[in-house]
């Protein structure tokens, strides 16, 4: 427990001006966690770090606007534990509860990671006492205390009971795997999940392909099932739109409240896919979409850690996620935060999302090559409707900026529809290439592709490429941001620095990728070209 003396000393430090900023370095955090464990030895080692990493990836969250949502955005989350001050009448105000127990203001809590760690530890220690846990609790037994920190409502509904399990499961998943973040390295620890969750619940937490059957009151994954009794609007599942299972076979099915989407699309065809960022947790997003007052939903939600997919609205129905573009789009929410997307957009998430989009494209006759391939940006960047797969920030008439500057559009587009080196236009004859010897201090590997000028406003660009090995043939491909090949040519590169002038008068204003691929070794390298006319 935090003693009066320690709190007094801490508050005096704050008064004297030693309050840390919201951008505190993570390098200090390990000492704070060690102090918390000394004060509260009943908390199993690693649980605090795993809880923080699950919530924020060790970023001190300080949002200025609400989370993603076109009507009622997800409540803001603060600090490294992602706590909520205003749950908008739905989520628990866990930030207020934690601050109240330690006698600190929310403002001080938000700015000081040291306070956050000690205050959350004190809260968990109190909950452990309420649950009469042993002083040397294991992670498995401590799960009941950890669950009390969650913002998920305690309304007894099947969906929120499941969301509670999702919350603790993600913490223990990171505890079991371990993680490394700047200044914090948590080694992998043993976690016996079967001692925390019933077998049927654990199957749902781990295994895709879950379906909800409201008529039978079941949430099922293969041979595992959970009762959803009572099947009523109160638990976020309506008899009006009985679940038939997910459209995407690998998805978990967890229907949003019927107050948050429109049954049917009024005959409109599905032609586009929208990439969103949740600005909150996977468990919290699933719960929020079942809040009948939220007035927001998406068809799918994807977990950062492993790419698990939950479907919340049938594709045939209109989810509310991108204002006046809802009628013809399918929305996919990706767990994470735009400001820290570089730590949330995992390879597992990209691969899972791309597989989902490929399935949507096959089922809806959407050309997967027409995915945005331009540079990631921090603000809004409206794109034409003919760009079929793009971010929330690319749609007109909204202020949302997700998925933001960290989303790798080239990687994502290539996973959805790998670009082909086959020519869309006839190949040109072999071009003359000028070459000069490689500098003695140059890199040993082939590469260092350069394009000048860039952006280009004239009729040609010069490609410069370093070839360290013997001469060999290569292909040069220019593709637009839909992945369509606009120009291709064959060349023979010489040892040294190769320079080739390529006409671009046939290219319209836009963003292109120039790729050079060595025929002998198969090595390729790409650079972005911006054409302005």
Q: What CATH code is carried by the domain that includes residue 359?
A: 3.40.80.10
Last residue of a domain, one of 155, 186, 217: 186
Q: Indicate whether 72 and 170 sit together in one domain.
A: yes
d(C-alpha 108, C-alpha 113), whole Å: 9
pLDDT for 475 equals 87
- What pLDDT was estimated at residue 241? 33
Residue 25 in any domain: the answer is yes
Residues 160 and 71 in one domain: yes
Q: Please check whether residues 255 and 354 belong to one and the same domain.
A: yes
Has residue 141 been placed in a domain? yes
Distance, CA of 184 to CA of 527 (rounded, Å): 35
Assess if residue 346 is contained within a domain.
Answer: yes
Q: Is residue 191 part of a domain?
A: no
**Residue 246 has what pLDDT?**
72
Are 172 and 252 found together in one domain? no
Q: What pLDDT shows up at residue 65?
A: 65
Residue finishing a domain among 129, 154, 186: 186
Q: Is residue 214 part of a domain?
A: yes
Q: Which positions of the chain have pLDDT values less than 70? A: 1-28, 65-72, 207-245, 249-250, 252-253, 419-447, 481-483, 533
pLDDT score, position 221:
54
Residue 300 forms beta bridges with which residues? 311, 332
Burial label for 444, CB within 10 Å (0-12, 13-18, 19+), is exposed
Looking at the structure of the chain, the number of domains it has is 3
- Based on the fold, state whether residues 8 and 56 are members of the same structural domain: yes
82: left (phi over 0), alpha (psi -120 to 50) or beta: left
> In terms of domains, do 250 and 398 share one?
yes
| 443 and 387 part of one domain | no
| Residues 376 and 465 reside in one and the same domain | no
d(CA 328, CA 268): 6
The counts of H helices and E strands in the chain are 13, 24
Please tell me the predicted confidence (pLDDT) of residue 298: 94
Quick one: pLDDT at residue 135?
86
Question: Within this chain, do residues 459 and 492 fall inside the same structural domain, yes or no?
Answer: yes
Residues 403 and 449 in one domain: no
Which pLDDT does position 174 carry in this prediction?
97
Evaluate whether residue 195 is within a structural domain: no
Check: CB of residue 152 under 8 Å from CB of residue 160: yes
**Residue 59 shares a structural domain with residue 82:** yes
192: in domain: no
Instruction: For residue 241, give both structure tokens.
Output: 């739109």
Ramachandran area for residue 398 (φ above 0: left; ψ -120 to 50: alpha; else beta): beta
| pTM, 2 dp | 0.72
Alpha-carbon distance of 472 to 498, in angstroms, equals: 12
pLDDT number for residue 334? 97
- For 229, the token pair is 């009794």
Domain hosting 214: range is 208-416
For residues 361 and 449, state if they share a domain.
Answer: no
Tell me which DSSP letter residue 17 carries: I
Residue-level pLDDT at 481 = 59
* Domain annotation covers residue 201: no
> At 87, which CATH number?
1.10.530
CATH number at residue 441: 2.60.40.1930
- Paired tokens of 57: 């990836």
Q: Transcribe 166-187 into DSSP letters.
A: HHHHHHHHHHHH-EEETTEEE-
């Amino acid at each position: 427990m935090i003693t009066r003396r320690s709190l007094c000393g801490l508050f005096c430090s704050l008064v004297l001006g030693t309050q840390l900023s919201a951008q505190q370095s993570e390098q200090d955090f390990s000492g704070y966690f060690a102090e918390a464990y000394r004060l509260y030895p009943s908390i199993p080692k690693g649980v605090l770090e795993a809880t923080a990493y699950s919530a924020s990836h060790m970023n001190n969250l300080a949002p200025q606007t609400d989370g993603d949502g076109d009507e009622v955005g997800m409540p803001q989350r603060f600090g490294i534990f992602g706590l909520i001050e205003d749950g908008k009448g739905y989520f628990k105000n866990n930030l207020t509860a934690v601050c109240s127990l330690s006698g600190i203001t929310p403002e001080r809590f938000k700015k000081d990671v040291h306070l956050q760690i000690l205050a959350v530890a004190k809260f968990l220690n109190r909950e452990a006492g309420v649950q009469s846990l042993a002083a040397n609790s294991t992670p498995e037994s401590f799960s009941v205390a950890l669950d009390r920190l969650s913002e998920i409502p305690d309304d007894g509904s099947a969906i929120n009971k499941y969301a509670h399990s999702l919350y603790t499961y993600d913490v223990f998943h990171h505890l079991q795997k371990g993680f490394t973040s700047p200044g914090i390295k948590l080694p992998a620890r043993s976690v016996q999940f079967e001692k925390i969750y019933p077998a049927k619940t654990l199957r749902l937490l781990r295994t895709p392909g879950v379906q909800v059957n409201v008529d039978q009151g079941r949430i099922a994954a293969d041979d595992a099932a959970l009762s959803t009794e009572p099947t009523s609007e109160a638990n976020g599942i309506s008899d009006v739109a009985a679940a038939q299972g997910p459209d995407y076979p690998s998805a978990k099915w967890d229907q949003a409240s019927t107050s948050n989407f429109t049954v049917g699309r009024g005959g409109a065809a599905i032609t586009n896919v929208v990439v969103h960022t949740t600005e909150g947790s996977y468990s919290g997003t699933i719960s929020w979409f079942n809040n009948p007052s939220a007035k927001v939903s998406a068809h799918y939600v994807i977990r950062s850690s492993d790419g698990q997919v939950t479907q919340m609205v049938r594709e045939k129905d209109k989810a509310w996620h991108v204002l006046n573009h809802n009628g013809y789009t399918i929305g996919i929410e990706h767990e994470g935060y735009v400001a820290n997307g570089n730590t949330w957009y995992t390879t597992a998430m990209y691969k899972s999302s791309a597989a989902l989009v490929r399935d949507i494209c096959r089922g809806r006759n959407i050309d997967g090559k027409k995915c945005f391939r331009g540079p990631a940006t921090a603000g809004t960047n409206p794109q034409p409707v003919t760009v079929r797969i793009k971010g929330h920030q690319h749609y007109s008439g909204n202020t949302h900026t997700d998925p933001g500057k960290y989303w790798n559009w080239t990687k994502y587009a290539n996973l959805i529809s790998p670009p082909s080196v086959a020519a869309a236009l006839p190949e040109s004859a072999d071009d003359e290439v000028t070459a000069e010897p490689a500098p003695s201090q140059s890199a040993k590997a082939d590469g260092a592709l350069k394009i000048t000028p860039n952006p280009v406003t004239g009729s040609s660009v010069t490609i410069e490429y370093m070839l360290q090995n013997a001469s060999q043939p290569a292909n040069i491909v220019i593709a637009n941001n839909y992945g369509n090949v606009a120009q291709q040519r064959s060349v023979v590169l010489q040892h040294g620095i190769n320079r080739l002038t390529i006409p671009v008068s046939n290219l319209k204003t836009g963003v292109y990728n120039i790729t050079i691929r060595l025929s002998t070794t198969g090595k390729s390298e790409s650079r972005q070209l911006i054409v302005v006319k």
